[in-house]
Amino acid sequence: SIYRVSLSLNTLDKLNPTKLLLSGYSYATINGESISADNTNVGDNVELTAYNAKFKATITEKEKIC
């Protein structure tokens, strides 16, 4: 139905990576790969990507939360 298509499009729109970055979110990578507690260590250099800028940072602390 039209309603289901509209709902699906709305859901997809909310998950649009650019819109998420516009909302203030960012993501972190090391050598272009997404990071997690399992593949990072204190002292690693990461790149943070926001909507309109990239930042370089060094991990100074690490606490696995789940």
SS3 category, 6: helix
User: From the DSSP assignment, how many helices (H) and strands (E) are in the chain?
Assistant: 2, 4
Does the pTM of the predicted model rise above 0.85?
no
CA–CA separation, 53 and 48 (whole Å): 8
pLDDT score at 19: 85
Per-residue pLDDT of the chain (66 residues; tens, 9 = 90+): 776 777 677 777 777 888 888 888 999 999 999 999 999 999 999 999 999 999 999 999 999 887
pLDDT score at 64: 84
Kindly report, residue by residue over 12-29, the tens digit of the pLDDT.
777 788 888 888 899 999
